[in-house]
Amino acid sequence: MHATRRIVHPAVRRGRGARWLAAASASAALAASLLTAAPAFAASNGYLALGDSYATGQAIGGAKGADPACLQSPASYPSQIAADFGLALTDNTCSGAVLDDVFSTSSAGRPPQAGAPADSIGLITLSMGGNDLGFRSVLTNCLAVSATGPITDGAASCREKHTSGGVDDIVQKLTNEVTPKFEATLAKLRTTYPKARILVVGYLPLMPDAAHTPAGGCFQKLTLQGAIFPFVTTDLEWMHSVQRTVDVQFQQAAENTGAEYLSQLTTAADHTVCSASGQPYIGSLELRGLSGATPQSFHPNAAGLKATGQAVAAALQPRDAFQGIRGQLAPLGGDQYQLQIIVPRSLTSVPDVAATKNGEYLGTVKGSEYYYLYQRTGAATRTYYNTITVTPGDQVELRVHQNGTRQVLTPLPDSFQGVTGQLVHTGGTSSVLEIWVPINTLYTTPGVTARNNGHYLSHVAGEHAWYLSLSSVPGYRVYRQAVTVNPGDVVTLDVGGTGEKQTLN
Cis peptide before 117 (omega within 30 of 0): no
Range 445-456 burial, b when 16+ CB lie within 10 A, else e: bbebbbbbeeee
Q: Are residue 21 and residue 92 in the same domain, yes or no?
A: no
Position 24 scores a pLDDT of 35
Q: Are residue 456 and residue 308 in the same domain, yes or no?
A: no
Asked which of 56-70, 248-262, 438-452 is least confident by mean pLDDT, the reply is 438-452
Position 26 scores a pLDDT of 32
Is residue 112 within 8 Å of residue 194, measured between CB atoms? no
Domain count, the chain: 2
Assess if residue 163 is contained within a domain. no
Q: Are residue 32 and residue 112 in the same domain, yes or no?
A: no
Q: Are residue 114 and residue 79 in the same domain, yes or no?
A: yes
pLDDT of 74 higher than 80? yes
Position 379 scores a pLDDT of 63
Average pLDDT over residues 105-109: 95
Assess if residue 156 is contained within a domain. no
**Enclosing domain of residue 421:** 14-36+320-503
Q: What is the pLDDT of residues 460-500, one digit of tens each?
A: 887 788 888 887 766 678 888 888 888 878 888 888 767 67
Regarding predicted confidence, which is higher, 363 or 421? 363
Smallest Cα–Cα separation from 32: which of 425, 463, 499, 395? 425
Position 43 scores a pLDDT of 47
Assess if residue 154 is contained within a domain. no
What DSSP assignment string belongs to 353-421? EEEEETTEEEEEEETTEEES-EEEE-SSEEEEEEEEE--TT--EEEEETTT--EEEE-B--GGGTT-EE
Q: Are residue 349 and residue 254 in the same domain, yes or no?
A: no
pLDDT above 70 as % of the chain: 83
Q: Are residue 324 and residue 305 in the same domain, yes or no?
A: no
pLDDT of 10 higher than 50? no
Q: Are residue 244 and residue 254 in the same domain, yes or no?
A: yes
Average pLDDT over residues 104-124: 95
Assess if residue 3 is contained within a domain. no
Smallest Cα–Cα separation from 269: which of 296, 236, 295, 302? 236
Looking at every residue in the chain, the average pLDDT score rounds to 81
Regarding predicted confidence, which is higher, 444 or 285? 285
pLDDT of 15 higher than 70? no
**SS3 category, 466:** strand
Position 424 scores a pLDDT of 74
Smallest Cα–Cα separation from 477: which of 243, 311, 315, 337? 315
CA distance 350 to 334: 33
Instruction: For the beta carbon of residue 194, count every other beta carbon within 10 angstroms.
Output: 11
* pLDDT confidence band for 386 (50 / 70 / 90): very high
Q: What is the pLDDT of residues 21-50, one digit of tens each?
A: 333 333 333 222 222 334 545 546 899 999
Packing angle of the helix pair 302-316, 77-85 (nearest 10 deg): 40
The 3-class SS string of 92-114 reads: CCCCCCCHHHHCCCCCCCCCCCC
**SS3 category, 309:** helix
Regarding predicted confidence, which is higher, 428 or 38? 428
Position 19 scores a pLDDT of 29
Position 505 scores a pLDDT of 66
Regarding predicted confidence, which is higher, 105 or 298? 105
CA distance 449 to 435: 10
Position 226 scores a pLDDT of 63
pLDDT of 427 higher than 80? no
Position 22 scores a pLDDT of 33
Position 94 scores a pLDDT of 97
Q: Are residue 340 and residue 200 in the same domain, yes or no?
A: no
Position 32 scores a pLDDT of 29
pLDDT of 381 higher than 80? no
Q: Are residue 88 and residue 182 in the same domain, yes or no?
A: yes
Half-sphere exposure at residue 332, Cβ-oriented, CA atoms within 13 angstroms = 14
What kind and span of H or E run contains 233?
A: helix 233-256
Assess if residue 228 is contained within a domain. no
Q: Are residue 277 and residue 349 in the same domain, yes or no?
A: no
Q: Are residue 348 and residue 301 in the same domain, yes or no?
A: no
Position 223 scores a pLDDT of 74
CA distance 114 to 134: 22
Give the 3-state secondary structure percentages of the chain, helix then strand then coil, rounded to 5: 25, 30, 45
Average pLDDT over residues 189-215: 90
Assess if residue 268 is contained within a domain. yes
Average pLDDT over residues 93-110: 96
Q: Are residue 256 and residue 325 in the same domain, yes or no?
A: no
Average pLDDT over residues 103-128: 95
pTM higher than 0.85, yes or no? Answer: no
Position 441 scores a pLDDT of 56
- Beta strand 197-201 with 123-127: parallel, antiparallel or unpaired? parallel
Assess if residue 173 is contained within a domain. yes
Assess if residue 150 is contained within a domain. no
Sequence-distant (≥ 6) Cβ neighbours of residue 411 within 8 angstroms: 329, 331, 337, 390, 502
**The CATH number of the domain where 269 resides is what?**
3.40.50.1110
Is residue 322 within 8 Å of residue 353, measured between CB atoms? yes
Q: What is the pLDDT of residues 279-316, one digit of tens each?
A: 899 988 877 665 567 778 889 999 999 999 988 987 88
